Amino acid sequence: MGIQRPKGTQDLLPGTVEQWQYLEETIRSVCREFGYDEIRTPMFEATELFQRGVGQTTDIVQKEMYTFLDKGDRSMTLRPEMTASVCRAYVEDKLFGQPQPVKLYYMGPMFRYERPQSGRFRQFHQFGVEVLGAEQPLVDAEVISLVWNLFQRLGLSGLEVHVNSVGCPICRAKHREQLQEFLATRRNELCKDCQDRYERNPLRILDCKNPSCQTLTAGAPTTKDTLCEECSTHFERVLALLGVAGVAYRVNPRLVRGLDYYTKTAFEVMVEEIGAQSAICGGGRYDKLVEEIGGSPTPGIGFAMGIERVLTALQVQNKLPEEKPRLFAMLIALGEKAQNEGFALLSALRTQGISVSMDLQGRNLKAQLKAANRQGAHYALILGEEELEKNVILIRDLTLGEQSEIPLVDAVEEINKNYQRGV
């Protein structure tokens, strides 16, 4: 076989891409209702942005980034996530000068070099939101409520929001000390990655998916044990607001998330049906990130949702639309004169917003009718030499098998009437 697509990527073909469009349209609708505006950033950025923003101790920076030198000998990286990019745009494009908070959402491809598996790709797609410029617990609750509302709109069931507070730098320092003390005698038994994390970022050991590490950290001090008064008050207020909004949540003291920039609220949305990797959305607060990449101190919070993983969950629960939208009509033109007249009619119908196609191969009547049925057309519009002589066109209902004849001059108006009636 010739050239193939890169490992960990996929072709989205007709029949599948309509499912993506359905999800994307639902996302846009919910974001509009919550007052969020779309942002689009470059698919590659200066490598330093992700090193400083995502964190040097993360698996993403250490193992997974697609990094290259451009022709100017500058280090560039295909974006592995979008939060750092949005924060860079907030600073560079002076969004801080707009009324605060700035409420943004995005959709697009991300890139990470990791072992492809079910629901995970090297080019994958995320939807996410970011709110910059507000630190109140109400903002945390709104962001979590938005994704909860989206999943309810999509009809997903069996969902649960896992929520925790990872604290601020002050109370995290206390937790770090307690956690290192707890793990000191177990350090050599941890996996290699967690042994490396012990000094650099011991909090992430609680996030390790290695069963042995999970056993060794059972009973370890959690961030909830060391929250300062401000972080504790913030967290309790978030929980109260989630209850008011009807969000089904549970506090998970081991939830820390995989990125260095999180502060205070961290959360994931879990669904059972998609296997061991059951999280389909995750996020949290990052009040120091904008400052870390060179901006003024700015509170922020957001989440990212894997499009592929949500589509898998929708498919497992049979919540995807059953079939793609039907073609309203297929124009069957027999002969060159009929093609000329039919092509003009086709153009007129399309300006009315009517989905109509025609045969492009000069096939006979029988073959064109078969093609119309295969494409799910509701009507066949038949135009041949006999119809041209009589200045009429035949309209055949392919569902009922009924056929009528109308003047060609009235064709656009009559077909449009049927279209508007949905028949």
Confidence bin at 118 (pLDDT 50/70/90): low
Residues 312 and 345 in one domain: no
**pLDDT score of 375:** 87
Residues 232 and 375 in one domain: no
Tell me how crowded residue 287 is: count the other CB atoms within 10 A of its CB. Answer: 18
Q: Are 330 and 375 in contact (CB under 8 A)?
A: yes
Which of 316, 348, 367 is where one domain is finished? 316
337 lies in a domain?
yes
Residues 345 and 251 in one domain: no
**pLDDT score of 55:** 65
Q: What is the mean pLDDT of the chain?
A: 90
174 lies in a domain?
no
Query: What is the domain extent for residue 341?
Result: 329-415
Backbone angles phi, psi at 44, to 5 degrees: -135, 150
Answer whether residue 299 shows pLDDT above 90: yes
Answer whether residue 92 shows pLDDT above 90: yes
Least confident of 24-38, 271-285, 317-331, 350-364: 271-285
Per cent of the chain over pLDDT 90 is 62
Residues 162 and 307 in one domain: yes
253 lies in a domain?
yes
- Record the tokens describing residue 290, joined without a space: 């904008």
Q: Which residue has the tokens 């389909």?
A: 280
- Record the tokens describing residue 33, joined without a space: 């209702």
**pLDDT score of 420:** 83
Q: CATH number, domain at 356?
A: 3.40.50.800
Residues 250 and 369 in one domain: no
User: What's the rounded mean pLDDT across residues 76-90?
Assistant: 96
- Angle (CA) 265-266-268 rounded to 5° is 140
23 lies in a domain?
yes
Residues 283 and 388 in one domain: no
Residues 299 and 401 in one domain: no
193 lies in a domain?
no
β-strands 123-132, 300-306 pairing: antiparallel
Residues 278 and 334 in one domain: no
Digit-coded pLDDT (tens) for 230-253 = 999 999 999 999 999 999 999 998
User: What's the rounded mean pLDDT across residues 244-273?
Assistant: 86
Of all helices (H) and strands (E), which one includes residue 283? Answer: strand 279-285
Confidence bin at 273 (pLDDT 50/70/90): low
| DSSP letter for each residue of 368-416 | HHHHHHHTT-SEEEEE-HHHHHHTEEEEEETTT--EEEEEGGGHHHHHH
**pLDDT score of 205:** 84
Which of 289, 316, 343 is where one domain is finished? 316
4 lies in a domain?
no
Q: Are 132 and 87 in contact (CB under 8 A)?
A: yes
The amino acid present at 48, given as its one-letter code, is E
84 lies in a domain?
yes
247 lies in a domain?
yes
Residues 303 and 407 in one domain: no
**pLDDT score of 254:** 83
**pLDDT score of 404:** 92
Which of 283, 316, 349 is where one domain is finished? 316
Q: CATH number, domain at 156?
A: 3.30.930.10
Q: Count structural domains, the chain.
A: 2
Tell me how crowded residue 233 is: count the other CB atoms within 10 A of its CB. Answer: 12
